Amino acid sequence: MKILVLNGVNLNMFGKRDPNHYGSETLEDINAALFELAKELKISVETHQTNIEGEMCERIHASHTDGSSAIVINAGAWTHYSYAIRDALEILSIPIIEIHMSNVHAREEFRHQSVFSSVVKGQICGFGVESYRLGLRAAFHAVNQLKSS
Ligand code: DQA
């Protein structure tokens, strides 16, 4: 099983962003934690980060044919307004888990809306790096559920 973990705009700057919301770990630290968990779950994980919206859409398109069984996505601020990424996700038939480090519902009003919510299986937010681990476990669980149904 391969799970694709996608990170969007400004998330390469984790480690330099407000530690109250995002802690001090870098994206490399987060990816390392995911590769560790992937070993435990006996799955493979591929990670991709981009600050370019069209590139994110193209990476999502590529997941139709690259053997991905599920997607975990933290799209950063795109979550709140990118209909292009939302529409790219909608075309997929594999489970999609939306995650955020911070509790977006306890922050500014514009962060309360996710334009992805109707096309994802579920959302996880507010647990810092643990949101990523929980997201990977949720994706793993969703794929196994599909296999056994
Ligand atoms: C974020 C939350 C978004 O509102 C914000 O724009 C981000 C990071 C998070 O992980 O908490 O860049 O997705």
Q: Structural domain boundaries of the chain?
A: 8-77+95-101+122-148
Active site includes 22? yes
Active site includes 100? yes
Pocket of ligand 1 contains residue 101 by CB under 6 Å: yes
pLDDT tens digits, residue range 13-25? 999 999 999 999 9
Centroid of ligand 1 to alpha carbon of 2 (angstroms): 25
Q: Can you give the pLDDT at residue 149?
A: 86
pLDDT tens digits, residue range 69-124? 999 999 999 999 999 999 999 999 999 999 999 999 999 999 999 999 999 999 99
| Whole-number percent of the chain with pLDDT over 70 | 100
What are the backbone dihedrals phi and psi of residue 122, each rounded to the nearest 5 degrees, phi first?
Answer: -170, 170
Looking at every residue in the chain, the average pLDDT score rounds to: 97
Q: Can you give the pLDDT at residue 22?
A: 96
Find the radius of gyration of the CA atoms of the chain.
Answer: 14
Please answer whether residues 60 and 50 qualify as being in contact, where contact means their C-beta atoms are separated by less than 8 angstroms.
no
Give CA–CA dist 109/130, Å, rounded: 24
Which CATH code fits 8-77+95-101+122-148?
Answer: 3.40.50.9100
